[in-house]
Amino acid sequence: MSFEINKSVIVSDFNLFDSWEERYEHLIDLGKSLEPLDLDFKNNSNLVEGCQANVWLVCEIKNEKLNVMGDSDAIITRGLVALLVRLFNNCSVKEIIHTNNSFLDEIGLNKHLSMTRSNGINAMIKKIHEYCLNYIKK
Amino acid sequence: MSFEINKSVIVSDFNLFDSWEERYEHLIDLGKSLEPLDLDFKNNSNLVEGCQANVWLVCEIKNEKLNVMGDSDAIITRGLVALLVRLFNNCSVKEIIHTNNSFLDEIGLNKHLSMTRSNGINAMIKKIHEYCLNYIKK
Amino acid sequence: MFELKKIRSDFPILSKKRNEKSFIYFDNAATTQKPQEVINEVCDFYTHYNSNIERGMYFLADESTKKFNDTRSIVRSFLNAKLNEEIIFTSGCTQSINMVCFGFLNTFIKPGDQILIGKMEHHANLVPWQIASNRLKAKIIPLESSENGVIDMSDFKKKINSKVKFIAIQHISNITGHENNIQEICSIAHQHNAFVLVDGAQAVSHKSVNVHSLNCDFYCFSGHKCFGPTGVGVLYGKKDLLLRMTPLLFGGNMIGRVSFSNSSLGDLPQKLEAGTPNIAGVIGLGAAINYISSLGFNNIKLAEKLLAEKMWSALKAMNNIALSIKAPPQSPVFSFNVKGIHSYDVGTLLDEMNICVRTGSLCAQPAIKELNSTGFVRASLCFYNTEEEIELFVSALKKVIKLL
Amino acid sequence: MFELKKIRSDFPILSKKRNEKSFIYFDNAATTQKPQEVINEVCDFYTHYNSNIERGMYFLADESTKKFNDTRSIVRSFLNAKLNEEIIFTSGCTQSINMVCFGFLNTFIKPGDQILIGKMEHHANLVPWQIASNRLKAKIIPLESSENGVIDMSDFKKKINSKVKFIAIQHISNITGHENNIQEICSIAHQHNAFVLVDGAQAVSHKSVNVHSLNCDFYCFSGHKCFGPTGVGVLYGKKDLLLRMTPLLFGGNMIGRVSFSNSSLGDLPQKLEAGTPNIAGVIGLGAAINYISSLGFNNIKLAEKLLAEKMWSALKAMNNIALSIKAPPQSPVFSFNVKGIHSYDVGTLLDEMNICVRTGSLCAQPAIKELNSTGFVRASLCFYNTEEEIELFVSALKKVIKLL
Ligand SMILES: Cc1ncc(COP(=O)(O)O)c(C=O)c1O
Ligand SMILES: Cc1ncc(COP(=O)(O)O)c(C=O)c1O
Q: The domain spanning residue C46 has which CATH number? A: 3.40.640.10
- The sign of the torsion formed by the CA atoms of D238, D239, D245, D248 equals positive
Which residue minimizes the CA distance to atom 7 of ligand 2? D93
Mean pLDDT score of chain D, rounded to an integer? 96
The pLDDT-based confidence of A119 (bands split at 50, 70, 90) is: low
Task: Say if D33 falls within a structural domain.
Answer: no
C-beta neighbour count of C146 within 10 angstroms: 13
Query: Please, which contacts does A13-21 make with residues 24 or more away whose CB atoms are closer than 8 Å?
Result: A14/A107, A14/A108, A14/A109, A15/A108, A20/A112, A20/C352, A21/C403
For residue B117, the chain C residues in CB contact (below 8 A) are 57
pLDDT at B118: 62
Kindly give the distance from the C-alpha atom of residue A7 to the centroid of ligand 2, in angstroms, as a whole number: 55
Q: State how far the Cα of B75 lies from the Cα of B53, in Å rounded to an integer.
A: 9
Kindly give the distance from the C-alpha atom of residue C366 to the centroid of ligand 1, in angstroms, as a whole number: 15
Catalytic residue positions of C?
363
D92 shares a domain with D54? yes
Which amino acid belongs to residue D138? A
Residue A99 pLDDT exceeds 80: yes
Q: Does an H or E element contain A57, and which?
A: strand A55-62
B43-57 per-position pLDDT tens digit? 999 998 877 789 999
Buried/exposed D312-337: b ≥16 CB within 10 Å, e otherwise: bebbeebeebbbbbeebbbbbbbbbb
Count of domains forming chain C: 2
Residue B100 pLDDT exceeds 90: no
Domain enclosing residue C96, as ranges: 39-293
What subunits touch chain A, counting only 3 or more CB pairs under 8 A?
A: C, D
Spatial contact of C253 and C273, defined as CB atoms under 8 Å apart: yes
Q: A36: cis peptide before it, omega within 30°?
A: no
Residue predicted with more confidence, C2 or C115: C115
Residue A117 pLDDT exceeds 90: no
D17-49 per-position pLDDT tens digit? 998 999 999 999 999 999 999 999 999 999 999
Q: Does B54 touch chain C (CB under 8 A)?
A: no
Residue C56 pLDDT exceeds 90: no
Q: For testing the chain A interface, which of D62, D70, D253 should be mutated: the one with the most A CBs within 10 Å? A: D62
CA angle at residue B63 from B61 to B66, to 5 degrees? 35
Cβ of residue D55 lying under 6 Å from some atom of ligand 1: no
Q: Does C135 touch chain D (CB under 8 A)?
A: no
- Asked if chain C contacts chain A via 3 or more Cβ pairs within 8 Å, the reply is yes
Distances, alpha carbon D261 to alpha carbons A69, C369, C374, D179, D254, in Å: 34, 13, 18, 50, 18
C387 shares a domain with C242? no
The pLDDT-based confidence of D1 (bands split at 50, 70, 90) is: low
* Interchain pair C47, D39: CB under 8 A: yes
Q: State how far the Cα of D147 lies from the Cα of D152, in Å rounded to an integer.
A: 9
Task: Say if D34 falls within a structural domain.
Answer: no
D398 in helix, strand or coil?
A: helix
Identify the closest residue of chain C to A116 by CA–CA distance: C348
Q: State how far the Cα of B24 lies from the Cα of B14, in Å rounded to an integer.
A: 10
How close A118 comes to chain C (CA, Å)?
12
C211 shares a domain with C356? no
Spatial contact of C236 and C86, defined as CB atoms under 8 Å apart: yes
pLDDT at A123: 87
Catalytic residue among D43, D226, D363, D382: D363
D321 shares a domain with D182? no
Q: Does C280 touch chain D (CB under 8 A)?
A: yes
Q: D247: cis peptide before it, omega within 30°?
A: no
- Over range C356-381, report the average pLDDT: 93
C209-244 per-position pLDDT tens digit? 999 999 999 999 999 999 999 999 999 999 999 999
- Over range C289-296, report the average pLDDT: 98
C302-354 per-position pLDDT tens digit? 999 999 999 999 999 998 999 999 999 999 999 999 999 999 999 999 998 99
The pLDDT-based confidence of B96 (bands split at 50, 70, 90) is: very high
C302 shares a domain with C217? no
Distances, alpha carbon B1 to alpha carbons B4, B8, B12, B94, in Å: 9, 12, 17, 13
pLDDT at B90: 93
pLDDT at A116: 58
Task: Say if C34 falls within a structural domain.
Answer: no
- Over range A52-61, report the average pLDDT: 92
Spatial contact of C176 and C146, defined as CB atoms under 8 Å apart: no
For residue C62, the chain B residues in CB contact (below 8 A) are 114-116
Mean pLDDT score of chain C, rounded to an integer? 96
D285 shares a domain with D383? no
Range ranked top by mean pLDDT from C143-147, C155-159, C344-348, D341-345: C155-159
pLDDT at B23: 87
C148 shares a domain with C50? yes
Q: State how far the Cα of D103 lies from the Cα of C156, in Å rounded to an integer.
A: 35
Q: State how far the Cα of D219 lies from the Cα of D235, in Å rounded to an integer.
A: 6
- Over range D102-108, report the average pLDDT: 96
D267 shares a domain with D330? no
Residue D219 pLDDT exceeds 90: yes
- Over range D169-185, report the average pLDDT: 98
Ligand 2 surroundings by CB, under 6 angstroms: C 252, 275-276; D 29, 92-94, 122, 124-125, 170, 174, 199, 201-202, 222, 363
The pLDDT-based confidence of D54 (bands split at 50, 70, 90) is: confident
Spatial contact of D168 and D116, defined as CB atoms under 8 Å apart: yes
- Classify domain B3-137 at the CATH topology level: Sufe protein. Chain: A (3.90.1010)
- Over range C70-88, report the average pLDDT: 98
Share of chain C above pLDDT 90, in %: 92
Residue A115 pLDDT exceeds 60: no
For residue B115, the chain C residues in CB contact (below 8 A) are 62-63, 65-66
CA atoms within 13 A on the CB side of D246: 13
pLDDT at D300: 98
Residue D197 pLDDT exceeds 70: yes
- Over range B88-107, report the average pLDDT: 86
Q: Is D363 a catalytic residue?
A: yes
Q: Does an H or E element contain D277, and which?
A: none
Which amino acid belongs to residue C93? C
- Name every residue whose Cβ is closer than 8 Å to that of residue C3 and which is 6 or more positions away in sequence: none
For residue D357, the chain C residues in CB contact (below 8 A) are 58
Kindly give the distance from the C-alpha atom of residue C162 to the centroid of ligand 1, in angstroms, as a whole number: 30
C-beta neighbour count of D11 within 10 angstroms: 24
Query: Looking at A51-60, B95-104, D224-233, which range is the least confident one?
Result: B95-104
B71 in helix, strand or coil?
A: strand
- Name every residue whose Cβ is closer than 8 Å to that of residue D131 and which is 6 or more positions away in sequence: C250, D101
* Interchain pair D348, B117: CB under 8 A: yes
Phi then psi dihedrals of residue D382, to 5 deg: -155, 165
Residue A113 pLDDT exceeds 80: no
Cβ of residue C125 lying under 6 Å from some atom of ligand 1: yes
B109-118 per-position pLDDT tens digit? 666 666 556 6
The two beta strands, D358-360 and D376-380, are: antiparallel
C-beta neighbour count of A6 within 10 angstroms: 19
Q: Does B116 touch chain C (CB under 8 A)?
A: yes
Cβ of residue C229 lying under 6 Å from some atom of ligand 1: no
For residue D400, the chain B residues in CB contact (below 8 A) are none
Identify the closest residue of chain C to D256 by CA–CA distance: C365
* Cα–Cα nearest to C10, from D47, D60, D39: D47
pLDDT at C331: 97
Rounded to a whole number, what is the largest CA-CA distance in chain C? 72
Which residue minimizes the CA distance to atom 16 of ligand 2? D174
Q: Does A19 touch chain D (CB under 8 A)?
A: no
Prediction ipTM score: 0.95
D150-159 per-position pLDDT tens digit? 999 999 999 9
Q: Does an H or E element contain C35, and which?
A: none
Spatial contact of A50 and A119, defined as CB atoms under 8 Å apart: yes
* Interchain pair A52, C345: CB under 8 A: no
- Name every residue whose Cβ is closer than 8 Å to that of residue B47 and which is 6 or more positions away in sequence: B54, B55, B56
D86 shares a domain with D225? yes
Distances, alpha carbon C34 to alpha carbons C291, D51, D175, D359, in Å: 10, 10, 39, 37
Residue B137 pLDDT exceeds 90: no
Spatial contact of D215 and D177, defined as CB atoms under 8 Å apart: no
How close A115 comes to chain D (CA, Å)?
6
DSSP strands (E only) in D8-113 = 17-18, 21-22, 24-25, 87-90
C70 shares a domain with C179? yes
pLDDT at D358: 95
- Over range C124-151, report the average pLDDT: 96
Domain CATH code at residue C393:
3.90.1150.10
Domain boundary pick from C266, C293, C320: C293
Residue D132 pLDDT exceeds 90: yes
Task: Say if C270 falls within a structural domain.
Answer: yes
C228 in helix, strand or coil?
A: coil
The two beta strands, C233-237 and C87-90, are: antiparallel
D235 shares a domain with D277? yes
- Over range C100-129, report the average pLDDT: 97
C302 shares a domain with C231? no
pLDDT at D255: 82
